[in-house]
């Protein structure tokens, strides 16, 4: 259905295309697990130079592992701990150029060097976070952040 060779435009054009693809994938489907699984798979095949992409869902005061692509991951993350927990606590995206310089970083995969975490908020309530790791330093730009935040805004309409 979607192939990486379709992403041959500018970074902005490619992100716009992936957001359109997300909308098409989720249209008419309300199952949270199915939609998060497809969203993580879509990002995994779209983004280059990443080693993990997935979701942690906010349940009973902590983040619990949801659908993802990559190596097995930490199952539970306390709010306020690590990059995911910080993004969840502050309800703001956290972009980290070098995870080894982030106080309290939780290393689920030793290969990860940089990370971006986008909170998923619906009706002013935290429902989870999108977490993406890269084996390269400085992988995520302001442009990535802008479009990943838009991606999450579209996604939360369907969960």
**Two tokens, residue 95:** 């972009």
Mean pLDDT of 132-149: 97
CATH number for the domain that contains residue 42 = 3.30.450.40
- What is the reported pLDDT for 86? 96
- What is the reported pLDDT for 15? 95
How many domains in the chain? Answer: 1
- What is the reported pLDDT for 105? 77
4 has pLDDT over 60? no
- What is the reported pLDDT for 1? 44
Strand blocks (E) in 2-156? 52-59, 62-70, 76-78, 94-96, 114-122, 125-134
| CB-CB contact of 33 with 44 (8 Å) | no
Q: What is the pLDDT of residues 66-122, one digit of tens each?
A: 999 999 999 999 999 999 999 999 999 999 999 989 988 777 777 899 999 999 999
- % of residues, the chain, pLDDT over 70: 96
Mean pLDDT of 1-21: 80
Distances (CA, A) of 48 to 65, 133, 149: 22, 11, 18
Q: What are phi and psi of 78, to 5 degrees?
A: -65, 140
- Determine the straight-line distance between the first and last CA of the chain, rounded to whole angstroms: 22
Q: Which domain holds residue 120?
A: 4-156
Query: What's the rounded Cα separation, in Å, for the pair 40 and 19?
Result: 12
């Amino acid at each position: 259905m979607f192939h990486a060779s379709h992403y041959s435009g500018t970074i902005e054009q490619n992100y716009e295309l992936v957001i359109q693809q997300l909308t098409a994938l989720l249209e008419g489907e309300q199952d949270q697990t199915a939609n998060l699984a497809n969203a993580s798979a879509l990002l995994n095949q779209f983004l280059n130079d990443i080693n993990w992409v997935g979701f942690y869902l906010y349940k009973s005061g902590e983040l619990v592992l949801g659908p993802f692509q990559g190596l097995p991951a930490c199952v539970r993350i306390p709010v306020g701990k690590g990059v995911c927990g910080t993004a969840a606590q502050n309800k703001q995206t956290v972009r980290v150029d070098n995870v080894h310089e982030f106080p309290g970083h939780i290393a689920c995969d030793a290969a990860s060097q940089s990370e971006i975490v986008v909170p998923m908020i619906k009706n002013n309530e935290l429902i989870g976070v999108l977490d993406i790791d890269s084996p390269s330093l400085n992988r995520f730009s302001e442009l990535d952040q802008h479009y990943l935040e838009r991606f999450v805004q579209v996604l939360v309409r369907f969960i």
